[in-house]
Amino acid sequence: MKVAIAQLNCTLGDLAGNAARILDAARRARDLGADVLLTPELSICGYPPEDLLLRDAFVAACERTVAELAAQVEGIAVVVGHPQGRRGQLYNAASVLSGGRVVATYRKRDLPNYTVFDEARYFESGTEPCVVEIAGMRVGLLVCEDVWGPLGETTAHPAGTAVDAPHGAMAPRLAREAGAEVLLVLNASPYHLDKHATRHDVVSACARGNGVPLVFCNLVGGQDELVFDGASFVVDAGGRVTQQLPAFEEALAVAEFANGAPVPATIAPDESTEALVYRALCLGVRDYVTKNGFPGVLLGLSGGIDSAIVLCIAADALGADRVRAVMMPSQYTAQMSLDDAASIAHNLGVRYTVLPIEPTFASFTNTLAEEFAGRAIDTTEENLQSRIRGTLLMAMSNKYGSIVLTTGNKSEMATGYATLYGDMAGGFAVLKDIAKTLVYRLSNYRNTLGPVIPERIITRPPSAELRPDQKDQDSLPPYDALDAIMAMYVEHDMAPADIVARGYERADVEKVVRLLTINEYKRRQSPVGVRITPRGFGKDWRYPITNRYREKF
């Protein structure tokens, strides 16, 4: 048997476009001699459809598309993912299309309801296994979480550690007991740091524990804050990876089985954390901009490291001709910032504009002079500069149709070190889930691909340049400590006392946790951005804004 793995970039809601993409992959797979084509989870409609699933018309349209696609498939079986409505209940389904019709349908058993997943809101659990014969082999169908089991990733072992059994996964066992000799798994498994190793551990354990090989086909592409990395793979009955597709790009590959076992084939090389994260950000930006129909992007270029790496990502994702950088200096902007901003814009070949804000700032302060008489200059005047810049960028966005990319990072979002309607004004927050220390690592990585970021941008102390001689560390703990505290508290739900017990200064922990708590109202108003950690400030961070609870040490 030959299984074609179609690692597709589906667009949510584009039913006709997704079906055409699947049909094209089926024809190419058939020409390669494949017996069956495996596509990702909910490949007909895209993932996650969220509350579109509450619309009866949407579900009906998906089912019509499945029937229409089945009628066009020739010479090969095709496995597609789609929502299926039956007797008032909705299922996350996988159907086998062959001979012009749907010949079998499997309903996902284990529904994830943690972090970014909320499938229990929409779907009912299936109960029966689905095993079909293809090219003389008994093939069992599963969908994503069925491999992880009912507790899902919340119980996953640390990346790279051995796992001897799947986490209570019943669906693979039922498929094996129904006669499955190989498991085909449709997936929409989003990327986050160390996800590849964790997936390999869990999927290998599933194959090993059930004594059957497994083909894992994963979605690729950006969907709002989620990025799906593809990186589909095949494991043998002993849990060894025998084939691996590349990450963050569409791919079609054939996995051949001989005597019931997968034949070893190409394994895509491992990449560094920085390379994977950078590719995730580029894909997230590219798909958000193109799938939503924006002609290009705008961003404020300050001469600092955050806007520098965002500019690199935008240019690499979209091409320099679709990117415009705007430098908006004030009286506090250093000459080196002007020089470095011009230098990186030139290096990347993007359109570069300078719009000084000092005259506008003077006009605003003159207007407010009588109202503010007798009051000292403070963060009000700092934020005013940022809001002037936000207003200019949004005006250009309105005029040209390009979306504004914000440049704030996760460390700033955590502590509120950002200005509402100022540097937070925009449509997509590229670094929303990127800690400041990772920003530095990504900048150094990007320069290994071509030295476009001036070294001074990376080595100089970070500053918002909103007052004389301002430095970030005047207001925040050192970023090494801040980012570590943030990761432990946000991504791992550690108690403040336990963080202190790890050796961090109590004053730093208290400050970071306090700032995190009181700035929820800002984060709730921030643009959507790419999620690359196990917990970003988005779908899987749901804290109340009005909240008097303070965790005690």
Query: If you ran DSSP here, which 8-state letter would residue 537 be given?
Result: S
Residue from 10, 45, 62, 144 carrying the catalytic annotation: 144
108 is catalytic: yes
Instruction: List, in order, residues 6 or more apart from 542 with CB less than 8 Å away.
Output: none
CATH code linked to domain 276-472+519-524: 3.40.50.620
The segment(s) of the chain belonging to CATH 3.40.50.620 are 276-472+519-524
271 is catalytic: no
Residue burial 475-489, b: 16+ Cβ < 10 Å; e: rest? ebbebebbbbbbbbb
pLDDT (tens digit per residue) in 2-18: 999 999 999 999 999 99
Helix axes 506-518, 479-486, angle to 10 degrees: 60
Given a cut of 60, whether residue 377 has pLDDT beyond it is yes
Residue burial 115-130, b: 16+ Cβ < 10 Å; e: rest? bbbbbeebbbbbeebb
Q: Are 271 and 249 in contact (CB under 8 A)?
A: no
CATH code linked to domain 2-269: 3.60.110.10
**What's the pTM?**
0.93
Nearest-CA neighbor of 436 among 487, 368, 373? 487
Residue from 10, 41, 62, 522 carrying the catalytic annotation: 41
pLDDT (tens digit per residue) in 140-187: 999 999 998 754 444 443 333 334 434 458 999 999 999 999 999 999
What was the pLDDT predicted at 470? 65
Residue from 2, 10, 45, 108 carrying the catalytic annotation: 108
Counting residues of the chain whose pLDDT is more than 70, the rounded percentage is: 95
What was the pLDDT predicted at 160? 36
The segment(s) of the chain belonging to CATH 3.60.110.10 are 2-269
What was the pLDDT predicted at 150? 54
Q: How far apart are CA 388 and CA 419, in angstroms?
A: 11
